[in-house]
Amino acid sequence: MRGRQPAAERARRGAARLGGYGPRRAAATLTSAALVSLALLALSTVPARANEILLRTCDGCHSREGTARAASLPGLDGLAESYLREALLAYRDGRRDHYLMGMLARGLRAGEAADLASLFAARPFVAASDGVDALRAARGRTAAAACAECHGARFEGSEKGPRLAGQPVGYLHSALRAYRDGGRKGDEGMRDAVAGRDDATLGDLAHFVTLGEAP
């Protein structure tokens, strides 16, 4: 575990150097794709190690490269480390029920969920807000106010809840339904937040929170 930390640390320092321009200026001068490549260049300066291969294996479904943004598959790059680690452990232990993630998580060895979480967290977040329906987003705005308590004023994430802004609508919608229907267990806050809401209401909510606007 300890021996693997420097990889993530160095990658973070690389990402922090980029951030030194100030995020707005960096965004103005570099496309998000270029940011990804630069951060990966930072990663690439460390010796190739087992967990980096594992990380890249996940990219087969979770990559945020290119312009097309998968509407139903979540991006993991740049999410909070603690959230990612807990999510992987929840898939492994069956608290999150999924048709394939449980199997993949059960193939991880001790400590690898934490290692993967730190490597994903060190990458820059890439938004995937395509396909938002403005009318549905408007309908979701009022109900979204309650979500901001844990997920941040603009749903950028906080210690209490993961980033929602910029996550694909389809993924957010299916996650909300899973909390309601028992596919995601052990999170009373989320269970209570979605209890009794119908699919359309949860969908409206997803269309709004991904925008990253204050409710």
Partner 1 sequence: MRTTRRQLLQTAAGAGLGLAAPAVARGELLATSRRRVVVIGGGWGGATAAKTVRRLDPEIEVVLIERESVFRSCPTSNWVIGNLWDMSRITRGYEDLVRRHDVRLITAEVRAIDIAAGRVRLDEGEIRYDRLIVSPGVELVYDGIEGLGAGDAPSVPAAWKAGAETEILRRQIAALPERGTVAMTVPLSPYRCPPGPYERACLIADYLKRHKPGARLVVLDANARIVSKGKLFAAAWKELYDGVIDYRPDQQLVGVDVAGRRVRTAFDEVAADVLNVIPPQRAPALLREAGLVPAGERWAPVSARSFVSPAAPAVHIVGDATDQRSVGRVPKSGFVANSMGKVAAAAAVALLNGREPAEPTMANTCYSLVSAEEGISVTALYRWDEAAARYVVPEGASGTSPARTREIARNATDWAETIWNDMLA
Q: Using CA atoms, how far apart are residues 212 and 127, in angstroms rounded to an integer?
A: 10
Q: How far is the CB of 1 from partner 1 (least distance, A)?
A: 15
**Contact indicator for 126, 78 with CB cutoff of 8 Å:** yes
Selection from 138, 111, 110 nearest residue 207 by Cα:
138
Contacting partner 1 (CB under 8 A), which of 41, 153, 200, 214? 41
CA 55, 60, 63, 66 dihedral sign is positive
From candidates 3, 22, 47, 196, binder to partner 1 by CB under 8 A: 47
**Minimum distance from residue 57 beta carbon to partner 1 (Å):** 5
Q: If binding is defined by CB under 8 A, does position 134 make contact with partner 1?
A: no
In terms of phi and psi (left: phi > 0; alpha: psi -120 to 50; beta: otherwise), the region of 158 is: beta
Orientation angle between helical segments 5-19 and 32-44, nearest 10 degrees = 140
- Using CB under 8 A as the binding rule, whether residue 49 contacts partner 1 is answered as yes
All residues at 6 or more sequence positions from 199 whose CB lies less than 8 Å from its CB, including other chains? 173, 177
Among 70, 80, 89, 143, binds partner 1 (CB under 8 A): 70
Among 2, 20, 22, 99, binds partner 1 (CB under 8 A): 99
Nearer to partner 1 among residue 149 and residue 181 (C-beta): 181
Residues that bind partner 1 (CB under 8 A): 33, 37, 40-41, 44, 47-50, 52-54, 56-63, 65-68, 70-73, 99-100, 102-104, 106-109, 170, 174
